[in-house]
Structure 1
Amino acid sequence: MSGNRFVYGKHLQFSCDAGYELVGGSAIITCQADGTWDGAVPICNKIQCPPGQSPSHGHVTGNIQYGDTISYTCDAGYVLTGDATSTCLSTGVWSNQPPQCTELQCASLAAPNHGMVSSSTNLVGDTVTFSCDPGFEIHGSTDRLCQADGTWSGSQPRCRKVRCPELSAPANGDMTGGNRYQNQVHFSCNTGYQLVGSTTLTCQADQTWSGPVPNCSPTQCPSMQVSNGFITGGTVFGTTASCGCDPGYLLIGPATTTCQSIGTWSASAPTCTIKDCQPLVAPNHGSVTGGNTYGDVATYACDPGYEMVGSPTQTCQDNQHWSGSPPYCIRMECAKLDAPLHGSISGTSYVGDTVTFSCDTGYEITSGSSSRTCQSTQTWTGTQPTCTRIKCPTVSAPANGNMVGSIEFGDQLQFSCSPGHQLIGSSTLTCQADQMWDVTVPTCSRK
């Protein structure tokens, strides 16, 4: 403003360039009558932004005036999320939001085939450990470290099958197969030799074989035995064995067999079976028990109420026939019973049968049993009954009268009246089969 002249009352207004702000003095000053200004002239200073805030696990550097740029960095093991720089704008605010520092992670690692990997958060500084399943061994890095740059140390390992010691084929034999874990070695013998031991060995997880190497020995057939018989001859390849049975037994199968080069017999061992008789049939109304092989004894029995005629046993003989003849069963009977006097009887007298007694009209059973059963002991149950004439109820003579007669079935009672009286009703009562009188008792009335 040097060289300029201002008259009384003139105003001056001050402003700053973008990015600057007035500091001190007055934004407007006026020329006074004494030729002086009523206020001080301000100055323009750079605008300042708020101090930059360091992110957690990080730092911020740089000035905070208009046009200045601040820079953000993270501590080791952390990575910046957001803008790494921010510029102070003319408005006094930063051009970008503050970033964050997040913990650095490595990519997840997979377990190798046939192996395992220890659990981990995959953060910087973490270590994972690899191991293999039983029967496998690790090739590569056993441990891997998550490094500050987010990469793993070392290389991804592999799990390979362990090896068992090399085996040799047995003398007079051959062998095929590998020697890694779970591999199998198969053994065989030359013609005329037989494998003694396991035909197959397996390589185990502990790098040992599942058993010892077998041997090849000259071929022998297994010993044969025949129950209730005998075998003669050897068991070496080419030998023929002869078979026979004890007395009383039949040979089923070939009588000879030969030991073959593969250690088996040319035919299965025969069997000696005991001789059989034809099965027996139980007699009518009876049963038979017991076996039907040589020497067995069959026993016959009759049903209750029947008795045996003939021998109760038969024996199976060497000629496969039964001794003797089979018995038969006949029905047992009790002594015949007679009908009681004035009565009758119905029914048969075989064991188990029941006879029934009845009395003639006007008679009833007063003692003994109305029915009797023939028991297995051929005796009758109960006692012989008796038929007695039935009786009608006792009656009394009418007043002023008399009565004569008896009260058994068919009998009559005769009634009469005293002198001076006359009979009202029947003078005769007859006892009937139903034990009732045919009419009522009469009365005597005065004439």
Structure 2
Amino acid sequence: MAICLKVSWNWRFQIAVFRATQLLCFSAVISELMNQKVAAWTYHYSANSYSWNVSRMFCQRFYTDLVAIQNKKEIAHLNDVIPRYHSYYWIGIRKINNVWTWVGTKKNLTKEAENWADNEPNNKQNNQDCVEIYIKGTLEPGKWNDEPCGKKKRALCYTVSCQEMSCSKQGECIETIGNYTCSCHPGFYGPECEYAIQCPPLKTPEQGSMNCLHSAEEFQYQSSCHFGCEEGFALVGTEEVQCMASGEWTAPAPVCKVVQCQLLEAPSKGTMDCVHPLATFAFGSSCKFECQPGYQMRGLDTLRCISPGHWTAPLPVCEDIVCDPLESPVHGSMDCSPSSRGFQYNTNCSFHCAEGFMLRGAKTAQCSDLGQWTMPAPICQALQCQDLPAPDKARMKCSHPFGAFNYQSACSFTCEEGFLLVGASILRCLATGNWSALPPECQAITCAPLLSPQNGTMTCVQPLGDSGYISTCQFICDEGFSLSGPESLDCIPSGHWTGSPPTCEAIRCPTLSAPKQGHLDCSGVHGEFSVGSTCRFSCNMGFTLNGSKVVECTASGRWTAPPPTCKGVKSAPTLEMRCPALITPEQGTMSCRHHLGTFGLNTTCYFGCKTGFTLTGDSSLRCGPSGQWTAVTPACRAVKCAELHVIMPIVMNCSNPWGNFSYGSTCTFHCPEDHILNGSARSACQENGHWSTIMPTCQAGPLTVQEALTYFGGAVASTTGLVIGGTLLALLRKRFRQKDDGKSPLNPQSHLGTYGVFTNAAFDPTP
């Protein structure tokens, strides 16, 4: 055994000599181990103390890993042969994810394998994640204690005796103290599990084949053999067998037997001649058939037995000479004699057609001695009516069950938008070859002429002439007049306008009343307080007029000035009078003109509403001398749309932010699974009081191609987009690895123990 010395010369020279010396020491230990031919589980320990992580690096660098204790016997052995050290030794157990784990095997510590000292582990409740062993401890020798991983202790290492090729890779290598044993897998035996169980040799079956796969030698454990047969032979037995661990095959070897076909007999009124090369009516047999004079053969005259065990065709029969069966012509009838003999030789058949059809071909046919008819069977052809052209401005749709414009053809007519059908809407081709009526005509739809409203004008767009279909008329009132009724009318297919013509009514200003201690005198051409009306104010004796003497109702619906007041000559007016503060109505606007201070005397406030809302109440309020407003504050109400009525089986869901079927309401529609939605799936109440789309319907059954295109086209036009979402599921895995750069200078010192080989080495973890 080499002796390792430490030197104290110049530090650079010292390091070089020191490392060379350690290599010589390490080589001497390896050489001596090889000379002694030691192949056993051996234990080792470091001369110096390190943290748990550095201790493991030491063991993995020189040996296998920190010691992994398997049983109580091994603990007793370690406690006997390892020298006592005051801070004890690290072993290969560590808490990982809060579970005590053997780091070398990555297996959890079982309850049966625990060897904790009393009140352990974690009696201090303070990150004690690594384990030490009390080698020759004074109180509990060989017991375990958990400690913080940063403490310094000696490393207790081991070297495995099981190698990759131990037990020939055909058994489990079990470590023992100083040696190992092999537990062979099923089908293998021997000290190193080097031998496989042998099965009896197999032979290729006659008229067959055998294909075997062997793991090593022929017909041993895990060998498998696949059998097949030549064409015309069938396998009797198992198609594939395997050599089991018991030394027996999973089944006996199969055999190949010739395929057998069904027995045949000569047909009535005929003969049969057969050849059997292998066996009677077996694979390869062939039989030839002939019929007696006066009969003909139906079927093949030669049959062969093929490999699946079937004849190439059914057994033929010998029949009387007959012609091919005839059938009555479509839309006609057939009469044959003699009827009791079928369609045999000399049978005569005559043909007739139903009403509306005419015979095309021979009226009679006869079955000849060659088994053929003298004439082909005729057909019944439908009578034809004159071709129909589509009338002007009309659409024609026809069905032709027996050909274009033939008997029972039917044509329906509809007029283009804006035109009315005059005449029969459906024509049918009769059995006489004539149509049931004359073709109809399409006449333009017109509505009653409209007149411009009094005090207003009318402007019309008439693409199809005066008051014709799709004509649109717009109405505008003169200044000072407001429209009462629809702003426009359309001429619809029924020949009526969409509503009654509107009227122009004079714009009214707020009602005026005589001031206290005063008088009011008004005059107007279009009615009291209407546009153009003039009102004059005066006060009683002893009062003076405060404000405009004369006001006029303007086209905006407002007076040219607020109403005046009458005040006593000796009373001085106060500027401190106020009306209650006004609040802008919800969904509305308010604009105020303050004359004598905020919401003071004669303050006038004007109100309006946002799009989709209408004003309920007076559009303007004025602060009067009494300190009160001329009216209550108006409100803005949402424009109402027509109420939607659900027709089964459609289902409707609505959201109504401003009231049922009001501006901003949105309704969605859907149908049951066996119905298709025909129309838009969504409609919204607009600011003009009309729905954005008409109410859809539910159509039962599948759509035709044209209906599907129409439906989906409408659906795309009425929706804002289709979003297809999906989710992507990612699997994340975290791995924790301890890195070892392998550059640490290692300083081994070796000693022999009394059992196996023990190494006491110093280890420097610094690079």
Q: TM-score, normalised by structure 2?
A: 0.32
**Candidates 311, 314, 321, aligned match of 2:427:** 314
Q: How has the CA–CA distance of structure 1 residues 414 and 273 changed in structure 2, closer, same or farther, with 3 Å as cutoff?
A: same
Structure 2 vs 1, CA of residues 247 and 391 (structure 1 numbering), >3 Å: closer, same or farther?
closer
Check 1:336–1:326 CA distance in 2 against 1; reply closer, same or farther (3 A cut).
same
Structure 1 residue runs of 5 or longer lacking an equivalent are 1-102, 124-129, 139-156
Tell me which residue corresponds to 2:324. 222
1:387 aligns with 2:504: yes
Residue 390 of structure 1, CA deviation: 0.8
Contact 1:297-1:315 at 8 Å conserved across structures: yes
Matches within 5 A, 1:333-344: 333-344=446-457
Q: Does 1:294 align with 2:403?
A: no
Is 2:476 the counterpart of 1:358?
yes
Aligned-residue offset at 1:244: 5.4
Task: For 1:137 and 1:422, locate their aligned partners in 2 and report how far apart those are by CA, in whole Å.
Answer: 134
Between the two structures, name the one with larger relative contact order (CA 8 Å, sep ≥ 6).
2
Contact 1:173/1:188 (8 A) holds in 2: yes
Pairing partner for 2:553 from 414, 425, 431:
431
User: 1:431 and 1:400 mapped to 2: Cα distance?
Assistant: 23
1:274 aligns with 2:382: yes
* 1:361 aligned counterpart, secondary structure: coil
| CA–CA separation in structure 1 for the residues paired with 2:233 and 2:298 | 31
AA matched with 2:530: E
**Which of 325-334 and 284-293 deviates more?**
284-293
Indicate if the aligned counterparts of 1:430 and 1:438 stay in contact, CA closer than 8 A.
Answer: yes
- Give the deviation of 1:336 after TM superposition: 3.1
Q: What's the CA shift for 1:223?
A: 2.1
Q: Cα distance 1:196–1:396, how it changes in 2: closer, same or farther (>3 A)?
A: same
- Match of 2:296, SS state, is strand
Deviations 1:413-435 (A, max 9, x none): 34567789988886543322222
Aligned length: 317
Cα deviation, residue 280, structure 1: 3.9
The answer to whether the 8 A contact 2:261-2:311 is kept is no
Closer/same/farther in 2, CA of residues 203 and 170 from structure 1, 3 Å limit: farther
Q: Deviations over 1:81-124 (max 9, x none)?
A: xxxxxxxxxxxxxxxxxxxxxx99975322222599xxxx999x
Give the aligned CA root-mean-square deviation in angstroms: 5.5
2 CA distance for matches of 1:249 and 1:266?
A: 24
Q: Deviations over 1:202-252 (max 9, x none)?
A: 549999979985332342112212223355677446878665544532445
1:112 to 196, 206, 209: 206
Q: Secondary structure at the match of 1:341?
A: coil
Q: Is the partner of 1:269 in helix, strand or coil?
A: coil
Q: Distance in 2 between matches of 1:207 and 1:405?
A: 121
Offset, 1:374: 4.8
Alignment of 1:35-74 (within 5 A): none
Q: 1:277–1:322: 8 Å Cα contact kept in structure 2?
A: yes
- Among 441, 449, 456, the residue aligned to 1:328: 441
- Identical amino acids, percent of aligned pairs: 29
Aligned-residue offset at 1:327:
0.6
Q: CA separation of 1:412/1:316 partners in 2, compared to 1, >3 Å: closer, same or farther?
A: same
Equivalent AA in structure 1 for residue 331 of structure 2:
N
Q: Structure 2: 5+ residue runs without aligned partners?
A: 1-196, 211-217, 221-226, 236-254, 338-342, 461-465, 524-528, 571-767
Q: Does the 8 A contact of 1:248 with 1:318 survive in 2? A: yes
Contact 1:401/1:416 (<8 A) preserved: yes
- Aligned-pair distance for 1:274? 1.8
Alignment partners' CA distance in 2, 1:401 and 1:387 = 35
Written as runs of structure 1 = structure 2, the 5 A alignment for 1:259-270 is: 263-265=371-373, 269-270=377-378
Deviation at 1:408, TM superposition (A): 1.8
| Distance in 1 separating the partners of 2:198 and 2:552 | 137
Distance 1:105 1:381 in 2: 100
Q: Which residue of 1 aligns with 2:283?
A: 181
Structure 1 residues 199, 374: CA separation in 2 closer, same or farther (over 3 Å shift)?
Answer: farther
Decide which structure has the larger Cα Rg and report it: 1
Is 1:334–1:378's contact at 8 Å kept on the other side of the alignment? yes
Check conservation: 2:394, 2:413, Cα contact below 8 A: no
- CA shift, 1:382, in A, is 4.3
- Once residues 479 and 458 of structure 2 are traced to their aligned partners in structure 1, the CA distance between those partners, rounded to angstroms, is 14
Q: Quote the residue 1:67 is aligned against.
A: none
Distance in 1 (alpha carbons) for counterparts of 2:308 and 2:450: 99
Cα shift at 1:316: 1.4
Q: Which amino acid aligns with 1:108?
A: L
Counterparts of 2:537 and 2:264, CA distance in 1: 140
- Asked whether the 8 Å contact 1:409–1:433 carries over to 2, the reply is yes
Per-residue deviation, 1:363 = 1.4
Task: Assess, with a 3 A threshold, how the Cα gap between structure 1 residues 231 and 105 changes in structure 2: closer, same or farther.
Answer: closer
Match of 1:145 in 2: none
Q: Residue 439 of structure 2 aligns to which amino acid in structure 1?
A: P
Contact 2:274/2:285 (8 A) holds in 1: no
- Match for 2:532: what amino acid? G
Residue 405 in structure 1 maps to residue 518 in structure 2: no
CA distance in 1, matches of 2:309, 2:543: 143
Separation in structure 1 between the aligned mates of residue 368 and residue 293 of structure 2, nearest angstrom = 11
Query: Does the C-alpha gap of structure 1 residues 250 and 433 become closer, same or farther in structure 2, counting only changes over 3 Å?
Result: same
1:173 and 1:216 in contact (8 A); partners too = no
Q: How far off is 1:334 after superposition?
A: 3.6
Q: Note the alpha carbon deviations across 1:168-205, whole angstroms, 9 max, x for none.
A: 58756776765433645354658974224665655499
**Residue type of the alignment partner of 1:326:** P
Cα distance in structure 2, aligned partners of 1:136 and 1:427: 130
- Cα separation, partners in 2 of 1:201 and 1:401, compared to 1, 3 Å: same
C-alpha change, 1:252 and 1:174, in structure 2 (3 Å) is farther
1:13 aligns with none
Q: Which amino acid aligns with 2:326?
A: M
